[in-house]
């Protein structure tokens, strides 16, 4: 008889999808939705087809030792005892010669929402007990938003539950492609239902995405990196036509009058009129006016910003202005509205987790600049000279900006080790590669972007010699003298039971049987307490209110009020490249699986106007150039992208021809490591390129 086991992905799409794995004769034959998830909690194609990755013929089955140049794919198999001894000995040697800060911690995206099998927290626990390390901060996903939001809202939980969309009378998805990037498995179904009810769903994006086609009622194209300018123009109309909720602003906000002065041009700068924005954004002034009027006249409005708008030069300002818009219109803290912040949800049910010590030695570098930190070290102003990398579940050679520089950084290292499922481009640059288990080969408790938790069963036996990351670290910790401190003598099952014992989940066995625990309130609204009583529940900002103008932010060297900061144009590179997510990849995961590759071939999206100006036909091989590198890829000529913008989906593994040109379409071959400031975050949607036929 088939077994039906509750499972869920442990991926950094953070979809939180309750699934069921059907197991027949020891093999997973099907993955489908857990019926307890109801009509809204649904998986996606990556989860439903996860067994194609699990059973892929190129899965790593035993430890590997590099015997050729870095990146050459020249390895020989070794036993687990030899691999673990080599890793432990090399880490000990580097610590003794240079100190623990010489080890850089990379990775964590491979399994990032599990409470035990979490490639970030396990590595932090191990390296913390090791004595310290160099840590990265900021994250590729949301560094600018994570930096800027606390200046505006303090440490408040500013998200909403997707179920509150049923109360929205208008939805604005600003750079949020929820159909492909997920960010919570409930959003697609909730927004589709809103559209069916007749709620306007406006999508602002340089591309006509699947979200536009399936969920949107209107598509408003705008040039990437100009979101802040368009938001300022919307504010201009709201102020000029008396559509700002002045009583709300006066009660809950600090410094709106300064932003008002800037928007209306009373501070000596040009007024931020729709015509001013149209020249910058490529969006007609009449479209901006219509959007602003609808927005200002409709309550409540849900404004949902996507990660994309803050992965640009000046992305910090787009997030600050998104919050300012929701404050100006009185939609913050209201059911059916939102804060305008990037955090989509509020923390889920109370549950335990595996902790990590905070060592005394832990210098920090911005993750976007990790290759610069390796190549330049203290001489370049970084806090440590890095000699080794410990990478768990991360493909940083591909996912980091400037792939060629990433490769040079790995070549500079004395030692690099990684845990992975496949011989990725990053694994090929490591000295020792340790084969890790897939999430279907272990059990865990998984968190979600919502008020629920999931239990994910082990549905398959580990392939050959693959091991859990937890078990790998236990074995290494024993060799390095802190085995008991790392494991506390606990097995996988012991930890999971302890997590539940420290939680609000009433029954471990029932939770394990169903695979799903739902929190009691599925319509939570972040900042609702603050809006209900700002004196009793002030924000943790200096004023206790929403800081539209922030004197603390001004101390970073940037203006106290949010302003438009635009990427300077370059004559040699006139096109703006965006590098969004693929529906068929989790960043670079799945790119080596033919079934997924075939469903979305890597191509360069171009508008017919830009293609015609260069004599390029649909399907023709083109070369995309930037100061960082060159990519050779077929063109996809389509009206689904606006003029002046080209698109190359991120995550493809590079493949070099004899001239050093990437022929796989690896987007980060073209991206610089210069970050957006002051967050030092990713700006991979602010890349200037030229395209040649």
**With left for phi above 0 and alpha for psi between -120 and 50, is residue 265 left, alpha or beta?**
left
Residue in the structure block whose two tokens are 């959003």: 187
pLDDT at 449: 87
Say if residue 174's pLDDT is above 80: yes
The token pair at 59 is 């899965």
CB atoms within 10 A of CB 651: 25
* CA 196 to chain CA mean position, Å: 29
Threshold 0.85, pTM exceeds: yes
Calpha distance 271→263 (Å, rounded):
6
Contact residues for 437 (Cβ-Cβ < 8 A; gap 6+): 462, 463, 466, 467, 468, 469
Distances (CA, A) of 531 to 165, 534, 535: 19, 6, 9
145-341: what CATH class? alpha beta
How many helices and strands (H and E) does the chain possess? 25, 26
Q: Which fold has domain 575-692?
A: Barwin-like endoglucanases (2.40.40)
72-107 tens-digit pLDDT: 999 999 999 999 999 999 999 999 999 999 999 998
Q: Which fold has domain 64-140+360-440+471-503?
A: Rossmann fold (3.40.50)
List residues bridging with 135 in a β-sheet: 364
298-352 tens-digit pLDDT: 999 999 999 999 999 999 999 999 999 999 999 999 999 999 998 767 899 999 9
Q: Where are the alpha helices (DSSP H) in 491-550?
A: 492-501, 508-514, 528-532
Calpha distance 203→566 (Å, rounded):
21
For 396, list phi and psi in degrees, rounded to 5.
-70, -25
Start-to-end C-alpha separation, the chain:
58
What are the domain boundaries of the chain? 64-140+360-440+471-503, 145-341, 575-692
Calpha distance 59→629 (Å, rounded):
30
The token pair at 420 is 């992975």
Q: In what order do the strands lie in the sheet with 301-305?
A: 218-220, 201-204, 170-174, 301-305
Q: How confident is the model at residue 153 (pLDDT cuts 50, 70, 90)?
A: very high
CB 317 within 8 A of CB 348: no
642-677 tens-digit pLDDT: 999 999 999 999 999 999 999 999 999 999 999 999
Q: How confident is the model at residue 183 (pLDDT cuts 50, 70, 90)?
A: confident
Q: How confident is the model at residue 373 (pLDDT cuts 50, 70, 90)?
A: very high
CB 116 within 8 A of CB 445: yes
CB 603 within 8 A of CB 633: yes
CB 372 within 8 A of CB 673: yes
pLDDT at 15: 83
Nearest 10 degrees: CA dihedral of 343, 372, 365, 133?
Answer: 120
Calpha distance 238→367 (Å, rounded):
38
């Amino acid at each position: 008889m088939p077994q039906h086991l509750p499972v869920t992905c442990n991926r950094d799409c953070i979809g939180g999808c309750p699934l069921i794995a059907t197991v027949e004769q020891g093999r997973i034959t099907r993955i489908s939705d857990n019926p307890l998830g109801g009509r809204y909690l649904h998986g996606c194609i990556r989860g439903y087809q996860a067994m194609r990755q699990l059973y892929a013929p190129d899965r790593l089955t035993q430890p590997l030792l590099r015997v050729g140049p870095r990146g050459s794919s020249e390895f020989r198999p070794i036993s687990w005892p030899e691999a673990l001894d080599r890793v432990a000995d090399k880490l000990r040697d580097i610590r003794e010669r240079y100190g623990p800060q010489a080890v850089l911690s990379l990775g964590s995206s491979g399994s990032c929402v599990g409470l035990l099998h979490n490639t970030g927290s396990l590595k932090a626990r191990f390296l913390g007990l090791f004595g310290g390390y160099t840590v990265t901060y900021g994250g590729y996903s949301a560094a600018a938003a994570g930096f800027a939001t606390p200046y505006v809202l303090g440490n408040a939980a500013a998200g909403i539950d997707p179920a509150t969309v049923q109360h929205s009378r208008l939805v604005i998805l600003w750079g949020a492609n929820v159909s492909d990037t997920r960010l919570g498995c409930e959003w697609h179904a909730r927004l589709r239902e809103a559209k069916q009810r007749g709620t306007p769903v406006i999508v602002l994006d340089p591309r006509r995405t699947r979200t536009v086609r399936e969920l949107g009622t209107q598509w408003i194209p705008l040039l990437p990196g100009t979101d802040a300018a368009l938001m300022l123009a919307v504010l201009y109309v709201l102020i000029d036509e008396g559509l700002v909720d002045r009583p709300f602003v006066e009660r809950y906000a600090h410094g709106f009058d300064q932003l008002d002065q800037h928007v209306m041009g009373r501070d000596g700068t040009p007024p931020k009129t729709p015509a001013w924005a149209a020249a910058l954004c490529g969006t007609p002034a009449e479209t901006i006016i219509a959007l602003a009027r609808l927005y200002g006249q409709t309550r409540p409005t849900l404004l949902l910003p996507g990660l994309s708008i803050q992965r640009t030069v000046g992305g910090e300002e787009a997030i600050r202005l998104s919050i300012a818009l929701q404050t100006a219109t009185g939609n913050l803290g209201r059911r059916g509205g939102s804060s305008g912040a990037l955090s989509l949800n509020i923390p889920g049910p109370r549950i335990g987790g595996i902790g990590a010590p905070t060592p005394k030695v832990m210098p920090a570098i911005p993750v976007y600049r990790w290759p610069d930190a390796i190549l330049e070290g203290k001489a370049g102003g970084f806090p440590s000279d890095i000699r080794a990398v410990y990478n768990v579940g991360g493909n940083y050679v591909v996912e980091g900006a400037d792939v060629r520089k990433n490769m040079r950084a790995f070549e500079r290292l004395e030692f690099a080790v990684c845990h992975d499922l496949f011989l990725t481009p990053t694994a090929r640059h490591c000295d020792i590669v340790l084969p890790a288990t897939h999430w279907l080969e272990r059990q865990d408790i998984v968190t979600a972007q919502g008020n629920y938790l999931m239990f994910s069963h082990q549905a398959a036996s580990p392939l050959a010699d693959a091991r859990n990351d937890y078990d790998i670290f236990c074995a290494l910790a024993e060799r390095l003298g802190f085995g008991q401190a790392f494991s506390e003598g606990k097995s996988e099952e012991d930890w999971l039971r302890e997590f539940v014992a420290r939680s609000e989940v009433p029954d471990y066995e029932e939770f394990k049987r169903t695979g799903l625990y739902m929190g009691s309130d599925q319509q939570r609204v972040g900042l609702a307490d603050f809006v209900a009583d700002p004196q009793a529940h002030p924000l943790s900002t200096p004023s206790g209110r929403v800081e539209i103008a922030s004197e603390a932010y001004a101390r970073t060297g940037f203006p106290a009020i949010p302003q438009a900061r635009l990427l300077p144009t370059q004559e040699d590179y006139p096109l703006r490249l965006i590098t969004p997510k693929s529906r068929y990849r989790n960043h670079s995961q799945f790119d080596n699986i033919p079934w997924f590759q075939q469903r979305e071939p890597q191509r360069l999206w171009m508008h017919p106007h830009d293609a015609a100006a260069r004599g390029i036909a649909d399907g023709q091989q083109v070369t995309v150039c930037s100061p960082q590198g060159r990519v050779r890829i077929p063109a996809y000529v389509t009206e689904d992208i606006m003029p002046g913008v080209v698109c190359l989906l991120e995550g493809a593994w590079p493949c070099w021809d004899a001239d050093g040109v990437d022929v796989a379409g690896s987007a980060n071959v073209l991206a610089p490591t210069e970050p957006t400031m002051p967050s030092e975050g990713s700006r991979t949607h602010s890349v200037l390129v030229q395209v040649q036929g």
